[in-house]
Structure 1
Amino acid sequence: MAESEELRIFHLLRAVTVEFGLRQAEFAARNAMHPTDVRALICLLDAERDGTPATAGRLGAQLGLNSAGTTAVIDRLERLGHLARVRDERDRRRVLLRVEDGAKELGRAWFGPLIDGTVALLGDFDARESEAVRRFLTGVRDLMAAGEPPSAPVPPPPPGSP
């Protein structure tokens, strides 16, 4: 039985996410980072682009880490020179996280060709097509963010186990 067009698109999206994940993992490995460090930098760059103050608590929530795990990521990135802790100018008690320019340059050197190629590809889309792509990707992101992971079936115990 042939797959529906919707399932073919879903499988294509999955293939894109796998490929992107592999590129992120290779970037992390080549730059002495953990894959979670790369995800953290992406979250912090997104916050910067949106004008959202980046705090350790917000970062931990986005990454699904507890306080100790979040601190470990921040410490690693700070040691590597990719991140700085800075005092909030409006509330000196609050510490914000800032991605350093060197980290941005490193990321641009690695992901720049992919970004540029994607922008060029989207440049061939008309406004309606671009809006459809945006709506689709936003919808998938929202579905993933809102949904609970499905519970995996529990495998039967091995033969002879109590």
Structure 2
Amino acid sequence: MLDPRVVDRDADLVPRDGLSDTEVDQIVRVLESLRSWHEASRRMSEASERYMRLNHTDMRAIRFLIAARNQEMIATPGALAEYLGISSAATTKLLDRLERGGHVERAPHPTDRRALAISVTDHTRHDARETVGRQHARRFAVAAALDADEREVVIRFLDGLAATGDDPAAA
């Protein structure tokens, strides 16, 4: 229930001074739409993970490796660990798992003999493109259908929402 008139009847937490019922209704609809988007996004991510038989961190690693390839960058275990925010030992386990699954290949780094170059296999790149890539293309089309002013409003709104999570004491 996202309606503050129900969950916070006395307006102790959610001030509504100066807002009409129509305005509160619209705000509630915005929050309900946002919740619907979160649920749809979660379902899409879970479906992609099931299809590719990978967990969330594995999928993030695959996306990183695809982006590195698309930018003609050499991905290393260290760069992947930094991106994922995990230890080198956890990265080794992740790469072992992805390599066993046929998702990545390790090769000697072309210019640093102490490093490895990590790349995503063509099969996994294709599967990711057909699932996650197509989903992203549909989301991009929705954003592209907005005019420039509407996109700025959405950006301001989402950035404002993101900033509400910056203070853990406020939770």
The two structures share one fold, judged by TM-score above 0.5:
yes
Aligned residue among 89, 110, 117 for 2:110? 89
Q: CA deviation at 1:79?
A: 1.2
Q: Which has the larger Rg?
A: 2
Which residue is equivalent to 2:51?
30
Structure 1 pair 117–93 and aligned structure 2 pair: CA distance change class (3 A) = same
Quick one: percent identity of the two aligned structures? 31
Q: How many residues align?
A: 149
Q: Please, which runs of 5 or more residues in structure 2 have no aligned partner?
A: 6-23
Q: Alpha-carbon deviations, 1:47-66, whole Å to 9, x = none?
A: 33444432212212222222
RMSD: 3.6
Structure 1 pair 65–112 and aligned structure 2 pair: CA distance change class (3 A) = closer
Measure the CA separation in 1 of the matches of 2:107 and 2:155: 34
Which residue is equivalent to 2:21?
none
Q: CA deviation at 1:136?
A: 6.9
Which residue is equivalent to 1:110?
131
Which residue is equivalent to 2:90?
69
Classify the secondary structure of the residue corresponding to 1:86: strand
Measure the CA separation in 2 of the matches of 1:81 and 1:124: 38
Classify the secondary structure of the residue corresponding to 1:92: coil
What is the 5 A alignment of 1:7-156? 12-13=33-34, 15-127=36-148, 129=150, 150=168
TM norm structure 1: 0.66
Q: What is the identity, as a one-letter code, of the residue corresponding to 1:107?
A: A
Structure 1 pair 56–12 and aligned structure 2 pair: CA distance change class (3 A) = farther
| Contact 1:60–1:70 (CA under 8 A) maintained in structure 2 | yes
Higher relative contact order (CA 8 A, sep 6+): 2
